[in-house]
Structure 1
Amino acid sequence: MLLTNRRTFLKTTAAGTVALTSLSELTANPDKKYKTALIGCGWWGNNILKYAMECGECKIVAVCDVDQRFLDQTAERVEKEMGNQPKKYGDFRELLDKEKPDIVINATPDHWHPLITIAAVDSGAHVYVEKPVGHTINEGKAMIAAARRNDRVVQVGTHRRVSPHNMSGMEFLKSGKAGKIGMVRAFVHYGGGPGEVVPDSEVPEGLDWNMWCGPAPLNPFNKLMHPKGFRNFLDYANGQIADWGVHWMDQILWWTEEKGPRNVSSTGGRFIKEDNTTTPDTQVATLQFEDFTATWEHRYYAANHNEKHNIGCYFYGTKGVFHMGWLDGWNFYPVNGDPVIHEDPKLDEPDQ
């Protein structure tokens, strides 16, 4: 998420939502302060919170986390920056019951996304939920059904759809300047090597590990899982394809007019990693659309030193190759040898 200098935190488009329903309720009174609650006070939850506080239309009435350290730190931050003391909760159900927030920010680990989102919309709140929507396809369907049943707005954190350089890059692609595109390659390749086993340990003081695991298996505590790293364990997430893969494959769906692929196949495994994570360290997926083929690939152990980019999407067109990137902006490499067209990233500019 980028800087927000207007009401973009509250407003969204159908492209970035699970369900776009009662948006008029959120925009009818421009002077209203919407009661907002943060569930999940880790580093990314606090990043989203920053923009919620800056937008000028949210009053942070409550924060919730199963880790007392993060809960206390976040409450102190809200009091310092907003001037009010938010209520603190260790159980989201109690928060929803007592506070009745207008908006809930759901920045919990992936395995908690569906249940908290469904409970929030059932309580009457609109929800900003971090990607991925859930751990399984059926969870996502249940979230859509709940949002529609309750006539609530649910926005998913695929925020690159409103990032300035992604938007300008998409305009370039859709203008036809790259020609007809027959293949798209989305990827992320990071170094790291095989790693090593980290032993399980005692649950840190102040952490409700049972609640952290929640609907997922109650495994022994391991510092590779919390406070960061849960996406490397299949009990709680789906690995890199459901982390960075969500962002880059969403760029493909943004570009194409097709609703989705006709079929999907994937291969991969754990060929290098020797630590106690459980997600694939190598994966290649093929998504067959009507008019083009898309692929996803990732490695956890060897970066892309032989290429220009470690992350992003290559769109292969008849007039050249377009790379949509992250920290390196976007680049177009013409087939006729003309100079490369480049736009710097605009990570510090407001969302559009």
Structure 2
Amino acid sequence: MKRRNFIIQSATASLAFSHLPLLSALGNKAYRYKTALIGSGWWGMNILREAIRAGESKVVALCDVDSNQLSLALEEVKKMTSDTPKTYRDFRELLLKEKPEIVIVATPDHWHPLIAIAAMEIGANVYVEKPIGHTLMEGRAMVNAARKYDRIVQVGTHRRVSPHNIAGINFLKSGKAGKIGMVRAFVHYGGGAGTVVPNSEPPQGLDWDMYCGPAPLIPYNKMIHPKGFRQFLNFANGQLGDWGIHWMDQILWWTEEKYPKKVYSTMARHIRQDNTDSPDTQLVNFEFESFQVSWEHRLYAANEAEKANVGCYFYGTEGTFHMGWQDGWTFYPANKNQSIIHQEPQLNKPDDQNIRELWQDFLQSIKQHKRPICDIEIGHRSTNMSLLGMLSAKAGRSIIWDGEKEVILNDPSANALLRREYRKPWEYPSVE
């Protein structure tokens, strides 16, 4: 992304503006950061509600390409606050006119990099949803931008602050499960074959061209929007790119290793017969220096035959540890004379999440000007694991990953998949 593609302030103005939140917060406990939400749908509003409840945000703007979502969001914000946010269809106009100090990026995945980087350029701190991008090199540009513009960037991997996840990781790090040789991460949800839904004209109020943005401009289909984009590969990376990143993040949180050395994946559509094009079945093997990781998902055959349908099993010499979601965590000792250990979750409604705690960490990081618990570099590595699994499956072979240089060794055609061409006039982000 070249700077001419966005309407931004001068370097001097941006630098001066970048220090306002920190100075104001230190001088006035009641300071409210000028906050903007870009992507006002289901999950974006989950984040904004917590920002409002924290009492340190003045909602100055809402942005969405769908005016139907936008009007509902505006109505709710007015009920929750005395704020009168402006509404926008184009995030560039919002950034120019409102100059927000905090920007929440909760759009479909393919828009995260361009919007987050543009927000950082004008001096805003950013809360960006996971996965941070659609391809690996977008993530590197986001990390570089955060460092270049000295911005606080929190990634929405809220399980890093979930009480039972924290306790579970501490349990594993303490060595009570012994030496871990293998981790199995999985998401098994139902769904079945589905049906084909004909394409149609976009509903009134939806700017479909802007929705597609840097992705290919394809015909509108109501299975994509609202809320269906995760299973369309132009805009996301299926179950592995959506749910998978949470569990990849848990694994990287536990280990001292920063990335896998080798990745091999296969994916297929054995059951699905609808408009989606993501795999309904996928297996991935990640080789680390000291342990192996397997990922598996299916979008069919929901049942109660298995104890858990999401999470990670850590297999250690002292027993098996399951890190779950709505079922907390459980340790099954190898010694049958020892008792099973379990901790229940502490999750917030709606949708059983811990955005509230993550937002508090974000605010504290802004005030202290320190990196947050889910810093963009951490989110980049976790996103990379998921994207490498998808890349291997698309390439049809195993890949050797140099995580320091962020290149695939001895495979030029696979390296080409680390990025993709953007639809004009959008330009692929590159920040040195």
TM-score scaled to structure 1, two decimals? 0.91
Q: 1:26 to 1:121 in 2, by over 3 A?
A: farther
Say whether 1:346 aligns with 2:346.
Answer: yes
- Opposite residue 351 of structure 1, the aligned amino acid is E
Aligned residue in 1 for 2:310: 311
Q: 1:181 to 1:27 in 2, by over 3 A?
A: farther
Contact 1:196/1:275 (<8 A) preserved: yes
Q: Separation in 2 of the partners of 1:314 and 1:191?
A: 20
Gaps of 5+ in 2: 1-17, 349-353, 359-432
Identity of aligned residues (%): 64
Q: Separation in 1 of the partners of 2:204 and 2:46?
A: 25
Deviations 1:67-125 (A, max 9, x none): 11111111111111111110010110000000000000000000100110111111111
Correspondence for 1:28 among 26, 35, 38: 26
Q: Separation in 2 of the partners of 1:316 and 1:118?
A: 39
Q: CA deviation at 1:28?
A: 3.3
Q: CA deviation at 1:303?
A: 2.5
Contact 1:269/1:281 (<8 A) preserved: yes
Q: Which has the higher helix share?
A: 2
Q: Separation in 2 of the partners of 1:182 and 1:100?
A: 49
Deviations 1:205-243 (A, max 9, x none): 111111111111111111110011101001001111111
Greater CA deviation, 319-328 or 342-351? 342-351
Q: Separation in 1 of the partners of 2:108 and 2:215?
A: 11
Q: 1:273 to 1:110 in 2, by over 3 A?
A: same
Aligned residue in 1 for 2:384: none
Q: Separation in 2 of the partners of 1:291 and 1:25?
A: 45
Greater CA deviation, 87-96 or 140-149? 140-149
SS of corresponding position for 1:312: strand
Q: Separation in 1 of the partners of 2:31 and 2:24?
A: 9
- Opposite residue 149 of structure 2, the aligned amino acid is N
- Opposite residue 79 of structure 2, the aligned amino acid is K
Say whether 1:109 aligns with 2:108.
Answer: yes
What RMSD over aligned residues (CA atoms) do the two structures have, in Å?
Answer: 1.7
Mapping of residues 1-352 of structure 1, within 5 Å: 28-29=26-27, 30-303=29-302, 305-337=304-336, 338-348=338-348, 351=357
Q: Separation in 2 of the partners of 1:259 and 1:64?
A: 35
Contact 2:24/2:31 (<8 A) preserved: no
Aligned residue in 1 for 2:351: none
Q: CA deviation at 1:128?
A: 0.5
- Runs of 4+ displaced beyond 4 Å: 21-27
Contact 1:164/1:351 (<8 A) preserved: no
Q: CA deviation at 1:335?
A: 1.3
Higher relative contact order (CA 8 A, sep 6+): 2
Q: Separation in 2 of the partners of 1:147 and 1:28?
A: 22
Q: Separation in 1 of the partners of 2:40 and 2:309?
A: 29
Deviations 1:226-285 (A, max 9, x none): 011101001001111111100001000000011111111111211211111001111111
Contact 1:113/1:133 (<8 A) preserved: yes
Q: CA deviation at 1:351?
A: 2.6
Aligned residue in 1 for 2:401: none
SS of corresponding position for 1:297: strand
Q: CA deviation at 1:38?
A: 0.2
- Opposite residue 197 of structure 1, the aligned amino acid is V
Gaps of 5+ in 1: 1-20
Q: Separation in 2 of the partners of 1:303 and 1:315?
A: 23
